[in-house]
Amino acid sequence: MTTQMTPREVMSMSSTIHFRIDQETKRLAMQAAERQQMSLTELMRQRAEELAAEERRHQNSEHEGWLEEQISQAFSRHDAGEGEYISNDDMENRMNTLKQQAMRGKL
């Protein structure tokens, strides 16, 4: 089944990948693409998108591990009595100050 791209999808693509492979690898890859009724370009794009999706999942899982560690450390500090507690008004004032600094490029 050939995947057809709309003109808008084609125009939104702004990056190309060029690489060298030996003739036998190219021949076999083209046969595999034909068997799937796709062009080699379409098949390689699909594989690159699959690799990118795999990397996104990997990075997300790393972030989740980091976040869990941060939460664990926060609870440890809380249990040890090392936390600083402020009122909601104080928190809003601090956040407004930070937002103003960020808007001025001073953060």
Helices (runs of H) and strands (runs of E) counted in the chain: 4, 0
The answer to whether residue 13 sits within a structural domain is no
Residues in contact with 42: Cβ distance below 8 Å, sequence separation at least 6, in sequence order: 2, 3, 33
Does any domain span residue 57? yes
35-89: per-residue pLDDT in tens? 999 999 999 999 999 999 999 999 888 888 889 999 999 999 989 999 888 999 9
* 5 located within any domain: no
Residue 9 lies in a domain: no
Range of the domain at 54: 21-103
Q: Is residue 11 part of a domain?
A: no
- Please report whether residue 16 resides in a domain: no
Q: How many domains, in total, are found in the chain?
A: 1
Is residue 71 situated within a structural domain?
A: yes
pLDDT tier, 107 (very low <50, low <70, confident <90, very high otherwise) = confident
